[in-house]
Amino acid sequence: MAQKFRALLDLCRRRGFLYQSAEIYGGLRGAYDYGPLGVELKKNILNSWWRRHVYYRDDVVGLDTSIITPHPVLKASGHVDEFTDLLVDCNLTKERFRPDKAPEIKLDKHGNIPIIAPDKTTALEWKEILEKQIIPNVKMSVEGNRILIYAKEVNLPDADGQNGSITFEMWNEQPSVQLAYHGYVEPNTNSPFLTDSRPFNLMFKTFLDPIDPIERVIQTTLDNAEQSKATIRQTVDDQLKPSTVFLRPETAQGVFVNFEQIVRTMKKTPPFGIAQVGKSFRNEIRLEHGIFRTPEFEQMELEYFVSPWEATHYFEYWRKERYNWWLEHACHPENFRQRDHTSKEMAHYATGCTDVEYLFPWGWGEIEGVAHRGGYDLAQHIKNTGANFEITDANPSLSERVQKAGNGNVDLIPTEKPAKYIPNVIESSCGLNRAMLAYLCDAFHEVDEGNGKPPRTVLRLDPRLAPIKCAVMPLVGKPELNSLSEKVAKTLRRKGWYTVVESQKLKIGKRYYRHDEIGTPWCVTVDYQSLEDDTVTIRDRDTGNQERVHWKEVNHVIDGKLMKGEADNLLV
């Protein structure tokens, strides 16, 4: 599986989907640039999402808000105080990791703890650090890149991660030493020599200020040199606060703070939604699996505002709607699933959350969260600004509204219609980069032609998502076919489809295979017969079947094929 994922990443690099950012300078960990094909794939996923949630409905409008977000907005939303992950450092390897994702300790058959170093030299270095700094006199041995630590007893912690311990054996009958064990070890090495966990805010902080804030930090520190570290920190924070801004960690807050503007200018009343697509930023402790977890990523978020008594209904509605969207573009729907959050996992604002997950080569991973945010966000912004976010429900009677919502399980139906209420929010929050990665994994197929050659790759992307829709191919070495090829390409380009003309000196079969590898659903071949009767062939990526049509028909035929997927889904 890992090999297949490496092959996919290699394809992405070779064929212009993804590049390491600033590669000529050695690259930046976790930062990626999207090449010509990556841009198209990402844009096509986004367009499908936007079409479905904005253009095909009359109850959702779009918005594009600022990435730079003032401190008070994110203080009110709870992100300044609560948007944290726990962080642990390994005293031995110096790795930093999230304990909630870390594995339990592994013991060998004698109950001892193997620590796996990258190589023999590192194992010897770590042995010395253990002996001199971490746990002097602990009984251990080194075999190749493995350090074996002798453990007398390992007590597992309780459900809260407390009261676990490891008792170590010592040389020369010295009294054994006990260390706390919270149920996890450093993921790469199985090392249990860890710091306590501490919360770590994930937001990128910066300063909107013409004066270098570092100067103010230095001056404040010098002025308070006699004070304790905590006091200096507080004074520095107070100094910087007026110019502190954050790169937004989710696009949603931009939607909430504009709620009243949209209601007023677009004449909307619940139920209605606001859609936004844009970049978000998180100082992630662990960057992993290519574009799966990066500090800079794009989100497609829909905040759907409803009355409190319709919230459960719409939570169910959006869970289904969003899951169906994922399945509609999938080759292997069995690799997508929904998973409800436990109360421990839930974000600080949510009263219910269901993730959509994809079975990546390393296991199930979240690609979207559908959350019932209740009235939390709007209420917080009302509390902090006095904003007028309440809805006065003047229109249809409650029972009509309930019927309109088309459900029998409306919760919290008040017996008296309230004059005013704060809308609840049902949110669908989907990572665009993760969507791209999931669909690439889903589409990646290795086909063995049975000819003794290594298998070739076919990306079976949904044609609506495929970066290049059509490759037009005149037969090799026949310049008289070029003009018709260009004409066909022009009609396809005018439809807004990314179309290329492939006239390299490669056999037609090889050119087909090169396009199969990047997911091009249709290749149009211009041959001798084309000059006689104006027909060309359209070859299908997945079946290899070819149909011959008049060249002027190509765009209609392809339009029909693309719209078929779209129309089928609309009937659902």
For ligand GAP, the binding residues (CB under 6 A) are 250, 252, 282, 284, 293-294, 297, 299, 301, 366-369, 427, 429-431, 433-434
Angle at 547 between CA 541 and CA 549, to 5 degrees: 125
The one-character DSSP state at 506 is: S
Say if CB 424 and CB 308 are below 8 A apart.
yes
Nearer Cβ to ligand GAP (353/461): 353
Residue least distant from ligand GAP (Cβ): 431
Nearer Cβ to ligand GAP (89/284): 284
For the CB of residue 60, give the shortest distance to ligand GAP in the complex, in Å: 16
For the CB of residue 394, give the shortest distance to ligand GAP in the complex, in Å: 31
For the CB of residue 34, give the shortest distance to ligand GAP in the complex, in Å: 13
Nearer Cβ to ligand GAP (299/530): 299
For the CB of residue 250, give the shortest distance to ligand GAP in the complex, in Å: 4
**Cα 452 from Cα 135, distance rounded (Å):** 56
Nearer Cβ to ligand GAP (284/517): 284
For the CB of residue 271, give the shortest distance to ligand GAP in the complex, in Å: 19
Q: Which of 198, 194, 201 is nearest to 95 (CA)?
A: 194
Nearer Cβ to ligand GAP (347/484): 347
Helices (H) and strands (E) in the chain, counts: 17, 30
For the CB of residue 90, give the shortest distance to ligand GAP in the complex, in Å: 22
Residue 153's DSSP bridge partners are: 167
For the CB of residue 71, give the shortest distance to ligand GAP in the complex, in Å: 19
Nearer Cβ to ligand GAP (27/560): 27
Contacts of 408 (CB under 8 A, 6+ apart): none
For the CB of residue 218, give the shortest distance to ligand GAP in the complex, in Å: 32
Nearer Cβ to ligand GAP (40/427): 427
**Cα 17 from Cα 33, distance rounded (Å):** 9
Nearer Cβ to ligand GAP (274/524): 274
For 299, 402, 484, 545, the CA distances from 528, given in Å and listed in that order, are: 48, 65, 11, 19
Question: What is the chain's Cα-based Rg?
Answer: 29
Say if CB 166 and CB 182 are below 8 A apart.
no
Sign of CA dihedral 98, 99, 100, 103: positive
Q: Which of 554, 560, 513, 551 is nearest to 532 (CA)?
A: 551
**Cα 442 from Cα 365, distance rounded (Å):** 13
